[in-house]
Structure 1
Amino acid sequence: MEITLEQVLKIGILKNAAILAGKEGLKNKITGVTVLEVSDLSEEGSSLLNLKPGEIVITSCNDIKNDVEKQIHLMQELQQKQVAGVILFYLGYVIKRLDARIIGICDKLEIPLICPPNETQVSYAAVMNDIISLLMRKSDKDSKKEREILKRIMELNQKQEPFTESMEFLGEAYDVSLMLLEESLEEIYACGSDVSKMREYLKTEDFMYRKKTAVYLITDDKRRFIWKKIWHKNMYLWLGCYCKTGQCFQTGFVFQSFEMIIDIWEKDILHKSQHTLILSILKGDYALASSIAEKQKIDLESVVGMICIEKENYFERDQQMKSLLHTVIQEEGCHVVFAELQQVFVYVLWNCYDKRISDIKESILYKRSFQRQMIVAPLFGKEDLFLFFPKAVAAFSQLKGIKVNKVYDRNEVQSFLQMQGLLRSPMKGLLENMEGILTAYDKKNKSNLKKMVVECCLEYKMNLKEMAKREFIHYNTVQYRMKKVEEILQINLKEPADISQLYLLALSIRMTAKE
């Protein structure tokens, strides 16, 4: 059926969409619809390679939301691909404000730029279903069935059922077998009565030949086997479908629903192998970790650092914090392996293009919305990686006792772990005595030397000039107070041993401080 974009805007959810630009192109003929997973054309895996003339492109431009020049370049490339139009999701949330130059270029190139309403029921899958329904002249009965399937998938998500339940439901609804594979063709999950046939086909020369020649979509001659390659969250996945009755006319909707399941249950699906990688590191299983890392094309020797951040177990706040971290990591040009472990989000950063982990730490601190305790640590080689991981996670039990939300680097974490042992040793008495001397002096003289010792050691690393500048205190005053600390504690801060002792005292004060 031949339809135009103008007709699409008269049906379903898009009836209430806003046409931001390119009204001259509303009579463009539509041949299909596709989601643009990667809109940054400088990134490997751009779906533009697979666009066909007349397709409607759905995107949010999340990866180029702050780069107007890249947004303009995207529109120019889409015009070269002769797309029918662009549906821009989440305007006001992802792209906060659309630059006037984007509207101008779309008007000039006659590319309709459409913005659907930001409502709960408006999703990629819903819009795609409306368009494909019109293209395929679906009967009311078919459309009703698809709406019921989408509703059931959402219900399974709300009930927190595993993604396997949703895949099995989708397969049974259309009597097809489904398979989800990593790019290496390692199976993540499969369901249906003909899964064994799908596994056999993966080993055939026919499949391997088609895999080389058809980058994104593979079908056999009878169109029973259909394989689609997608780019999702920095990795490729293969989606497989087998129709026992021959060509499946509902394949478009099946794959749309399949991709929606991946979006909804991405933590369970995409992070399964990554979670296994991190667990193998924690267990010290180098052979397993190396095997998994190789399949994911991660060189453990190229790992530059790690981030551990505490969970609050409040869904919305945790999601906001994860979003902030992902933004910083992406801005720093890093690849990441992510998992949730105990009460901690764990990120392993690698191949960061000569970025130092300290730069990433500063980027995180720069974000004003950062309100969590976090460990940011450099890792040098696999030995350091395997030794530090278990300690980093265990260290959160110590950080919970500290009432200051901040980013802790590796040296601080190691000091906390050392203090754990020191506070159970004879040195505990010495530190308590030194703290008592400071407390008595402060009480008698109405001063605050104890607080100053903690801040000078832990916040400013004994940099008196930096402390004076940040705390708006004259440098001479800071020097005088530190001299007074030396005097009453009978230490010499020119001696490394005495500096270490004062640092341990500061840690002890902070760790034993009452709420």
Structure 2
Amino acid sequence: MKVSELLTLPALNGMHLIAGRTGIEREVRTVNMMDAPDIINFLKPNEFLVTTAYHIKDKPQLLSSLVEAMANQGCAALGIKTRRYLKEIPAEALVLANDLSFPIIELPAELSLGEIINHTLRGILDQRATELTFAMETHKQFTNLIMRGKGIQKLLDHLSDMIGYPILLVDQYLKPIFHPISTSGIIPIIKKMNEEGFRFHKTKTSFFSFSSLSNKQPYTVFPIYMNEEKFGYLTISGEIKTSDNLITLTIEQATNVISFALMKEHALKQHDRNIRNDFFLHFLDGSFSSQEEIINRAKEFSLHNEQTYICAVGKIDESDSDISYTQLQRRADSIYEFLEDELHLSPDPIHLFTKGKKCILLYEVNEVSADVLQTVETSIRSLQRITASQFDCTISFGVSHMSPSFLQTKNSYKEANDSLLEGGLSKRTEYIQIFRTKDIMELLRIIPEEDLMNFHHFALQGFSKIFTEEEQTLLQTLSVYLETHCQISETAKRLFVHRNTVVYRLEKCEELLGKSLKDSETTLQIRLALRIKSLLNI
């Protein structure tokens, strides 16, 4: 209850405001009665103090100190019976109250302090009951809109009409989710904030406000939480003050209903995503009994067999930070879910699936041309930039050649995955590795595994069959050294070690192999052996 509303209570007829008129919008939440010198130590913010001023009757000048202390404490107002012990309020106290916008109220003589307290508390409780009833009715209205299938958009329209401000619902990345037509002016502001890397942070407060420098417009933001990882913001084009209880209650009820509606919507989307993902993984694993079954099931997910596709396999580049496997998987899921939403903006359909820590993109190719791979690469570059901007990490991709039908995308997946692995051999990050026809890895697959194992052991003789930790480090250094065309400085740079360390490790490799790394035949054999090691996962 505000001070202005307190003054209009019929039961408290006779109360008069004698100072601090500009502060009558202060909130009254509790009322207290006390006549003691140390009264300020017991007062709370938004408290209305009623007193006979008995403790300052002999020193009325102390009233100014009390007014200043109460204003600093955030109290609501001071009520004084002026015809009891204090005949009149000192002029300096009234001037100070006006300066501090702190209301001083003259209490009616015919009411006792106890009666004033009871009437005030009853007024506060009655208003709280009215607000609670209003909140329940408002919540019911919003819930009915959702239950009748009107959707979140209709709810936002209704809320906008109720509070008189345009509203925009954005996700945690400041991308609009729902917005009425009236919010067209907010979208450019949010878009600019997004482009400049601005983010709202999780807050324990129910809402917060900010102003845009470009249009001097205030905005109020109400967080909407769905779970620990996913949340959004109800952005209102206007300032909502904490004293606007009914408007705040209305918006809070709407955010509660929107939160549950978004949770339900997200759960349904996640369920559909899991079904679609399971189908594609079973397809890759060869779990279906016939091609006809695959073709028919693929149609359910808008994957047509006669369509031409390009496959891309992506993986978040590993960092040295100490993150658990669960945290890594959650982060990957969040990133891939974000990328899937971004792909929906593409003019041509792009299908996203996940497999462990990897994502799989199937690009539909409607016009086969020489620059189609360039188009796919441009799209992937855009995804890499967005990922780096939004999540402060990098992601690399391997890309296949075109597949003339959906049934052949299984081979395209292998091409893209091999390309991703090949790009990772040189310790690069944020790369796009296009599959090369007749690649060495493809040729090696033709050779029987036993022959590959024999060649591997021959080329790397001197190393243990089960590599020790030191030998793994030496092989890694040797691999990067060969991939960088035997450039010691570049090898040291990619491995984050001193070049003398690289020289020492290479000399150690020559000692184990019993061969010189300057011999072209030797380095060719080692390159093939390292490819075989990767292929057979030795």
TM-score (norm 2): 0.40
Which has the higher Rg, Structure 1 or Structure 2?
Answer: 2
TM-score (norm 1): 0.41
